[in-house]
């Protein structure tokens, strides 16, 4: 894929180091540690898998909650040359670091935001015939040569031109003034290898690619990379796999874990048999118990959706290396844990407990909460002290 010209020379990136952000540790809910070295290792593994094709990086949603600036810096240093974001505001931040990268904006083009694409030298992903008409008019009026991607819907049924629409404009797109640098689609069920929609989308994208010869193409997301080589095309676009999420559900995770989340204990208290915990009294002690209350809640991204009730599937936290169950409803700032089975000396005020990490993976945490790792990671609040390890 051709690189765009740059008016400014890139400056050397800073050497890797452990950095911190957010509130001071002693003033925070806890600590979120992001292993940038693991992100780089995951990127290199995925890149090697699809070589000689290109491996881009999806860094939308603050790099899936891992820090857009820090992750972009690490991946640029690792050789990543193409980034995908959702919004122009994210593209601006990527451009400030990756001065010579190609940056695609997934949420499309509007005439009102045209100058932003010029300012950042970013490429919109064209998602409809209306956007394409506005894009063509903008290019003709401004002479902007930054390029764009054309998104064809092969079965996701969200954004994108239909197969019929894409086929009808193929001859126009191949003209010298099209400024379309990438043809792309998005797999809906790649995390379920046996789903029939995968073969349907791969076949349809292969057919539409034949009408756009000479233009680079992209289909595979994280899970798509692990289907087979028919999804690779010219560029793959991993997202969650870069950040340690399992792109092969039901199988061992091939990716290195990236995040560790800890919160501190505010209080340890004794609870008599028959006493309840939290709003709504949804959990009642069936024995004399000890409860540890920790400084994290739904304001920090710990999902409240699955209320913790008597008989419910346990949601767990590691205390002194042992799994302990959350009890009562999760509130805005607090979670209660049943630590009755741990020695009294093993649980104390100000001790850190692990919500993600030490074998409690982000995918398992998500499953316990009835959601997915994407939501867990992007929802982690900014009341945590953050540490990025090189």
Active site residues: 60, 279
Per-residue tokens: 137: 């008019």
Q: What are phi and psi of 48, to 5 degrees?
A: -65, -35
Closest by alpha carbon to 106, among 88, 119, 118, 93? 88
* Alpha carbons 14 and 385: distance in angstroms, whole number: 22
State the CB neighbour count (10 A cutoff) for residue 264: 18
* Alpha carbons 56 and 248: distance in angstroms, whole number: 19
* Alpha carbons 84 and 38: distance in angstroms, whole number: 20
Q: What are phi and psi of 27, to 5 degrees?
A: -110, 15
- CA dihedral sign of residues 212, 217, 223, 224: positive
Which residues are CB-contacts of 308 (< 8 A; sequence separation ≥ 6)?
282, 283, 315, 325, 326, 327, 328, 329, 330
* Alpha carbons 261 and 353: distance in angstroms, whole number: 9
* Alpha carbons 55 and 155: distance in angstroms, whole number: 23
Per-residue DSSP letter, 358? T
* Strand-pair category, 235-236 with 54-55: parallel
Rounded-to-5 percentages of helix, strand, coil across the chain: 30, 25, 45
Residue that the structure tokens 């240093």 belong to:
77
Calculate the CA 16 to chain-centre distance: 22
């Amino acid at each position: 894929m051709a690189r765009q010209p740059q008016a400014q020379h890139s400056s050397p990136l800073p050497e890797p180091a452990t950095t911190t952000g957010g509130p001071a540790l002693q003033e925070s809910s806890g600590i979120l540690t992001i292993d940038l070295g693991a992100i780089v290792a995951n990127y290199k593994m995925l890149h090697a898998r699809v070589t000689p094709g290109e491996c881009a990086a999806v860094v939308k949603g603050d790099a899936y909650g891992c820090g857009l600036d820090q992750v972009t810096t690490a991946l640029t240093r690792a050789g990543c040359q193409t980034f995908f974001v959702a919004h122009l505001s994210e593209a601006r931040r990527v451009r400030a670091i990756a001065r010579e990268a190609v940056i695609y904006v997934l949420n499309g083009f509007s005439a009102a935001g045209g100058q932003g694409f010029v300012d950042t030298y970013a490429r919109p992903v064209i998602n409809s015939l209306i956007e394409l008409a506005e894009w063509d008019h903008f290019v003709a009026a401004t002479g902007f040569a930054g390029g764009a991607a054309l998104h064809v819907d092969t079965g996701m049924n969200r954004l994108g031109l239909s197969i019929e629409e894409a086929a009808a404009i193929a001859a126009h797109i191949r003209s010298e003034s099209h400024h379309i640098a990438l043809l792309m689609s998005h797999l809906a069920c790649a995390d379920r290898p046996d789903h029939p929609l995968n073969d349907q989308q791969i076949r349809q994208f292969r057919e539409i690619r034949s009408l756009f010869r000479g233009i680079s193409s992209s289909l595979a997301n994280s899970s798509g990379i692990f289907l087979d080589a028919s999804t690779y095309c010219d560029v793959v676009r991993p997202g969650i796999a870069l950040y340690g999420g399992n792109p092969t559900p039901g199988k061992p995770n091939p990716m290195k874990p990236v995040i560790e989340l800890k919160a501190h204990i505010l209080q340890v208290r004794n609870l008599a048999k028959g006493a309840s915990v939290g709003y709504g009294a949804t959990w009642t002690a069936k024995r004399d118990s000890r409860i540890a209350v920790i400084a994290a809640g739904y304001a920090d991204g710990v999902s409240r959706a699955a209320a913790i009730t008597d008989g419910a599937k346990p949601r767990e936290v590691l205390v002194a290396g042992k799994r302990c169950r959350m009890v009562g409803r999760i509130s805005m700032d607090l979670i209660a844990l049943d630590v009755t089975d741990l020695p009294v000396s093993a649980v104390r005020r100000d001790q850190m407990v692990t919500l993600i990490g030490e074998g409690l993976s982000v995918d398992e945490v998500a499953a316990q909460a009835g959601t997915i790792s994407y939501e867990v990671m992007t929802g982690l609040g900014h009341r945590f002290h953050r540490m990025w390890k090189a």
